[in-house]
Amino acid sequence: MPFILPQLPYAKNALAPHLSQETLEFHHGKHHQAYIANLNNLLEGKPEASRTLEEIIAKSDGPVFNNAAQAWNHAFYWLSLKPNGGGEPTGALAAQIARDFGGFAKFKEEFAQAAAAQFGSGWAWLVWDNGELKIVKTGNADLPLKHGQTALLTIDVWEHAYYIDYRNARPKYIETFLNHLANWDFASQNFAKAQN
């Protein structure tokens, strides 16, 4: 069965003014859709077509990996955003951030630095790795799943994620993500699952 583009968990204008409807129409409706279409074309008639995205990512490379990973990354990214997001996490995740980073302010600083310093296209992630939280950055389609880490939250720093709204001001987009868009409920759910 072919892969399909997942619906956004909010209306396309719900993240405005931080991310515009135009950005979501292009990013979700064109870029994410293209990864899905390319993956379906690459897998047509092959046994891999019946596997999950995670299974394909684990066992592929080249164009199949790139399109499968980008389909997964984008689906995860949409869930990492929410209207009226940002702020700080609470509960167990907040306590773990305090333990592993020395406080939320330090986490924000390190996350923003990783996202800003990712050369070219890629991602910055908050991950659970061997019993501790870490911030990692990955280039192009690479993702924590390929390295045995559990993704909790991500920001997309490919230019198409922010260029319509922020032009070349990636640091402003990152600041806005942390202050107004990050979905800490989603990250907390992922953290809770990673503990089991």
**Per-domain boundaries in the chain:** 21-79, 91-195
CATH of range 21-79; options 3.50.50.60, 1.10.340.30, 3.30.70.270, 1.10.287.990: 1.10.287.990
> 91-195 sits in which CATH class?
alpha beta
Q: What percent of the chain has pLDDT over 70?
A: 100
Counts for the chain of helices (H) and strands (E), in that order = 9, 3
Average pLDDT on 117-143 reads 98
- For residue 127, what pLDDT is reported? 98
9-36 confidence digits (pLDDT tens):
999 999 999 999 999 999 999 999 999 9
Q: Which of the four pLDDT bands, split at 50, 70 and 90, describes residue 196? A: confident
Tokens at 101, concatenated? 């980073």
d(CA 95, CA 32) in angstroms, rounded, equals 34
Average pLDDT across the chain, whole number:
98
Locus of tokens 């997309």: 156
The pLDDT assigned to 170 comes to 98
Mean pLDDT of 86-109: 98
pLDDT at 111 over 80: yes
pTM of the entire structure? 0.98
Name residues whose C-beta falls within 8 Å of residue 125's C-beta, 6 or more positions apart in sequence. 135, 136, 137, 138, 143, 144, 149, 151, 152, 153, 154
Cα atoms in the 13 Å half-sphere on the side-chain side of 146: 20
Segment 46-53 shows an average pLDDT of 95
Identical fold at 21-79 and 91-195? no
> What's CA 25's distance to the chain center, in Å?
17
pLDDT at 1 over 80: no
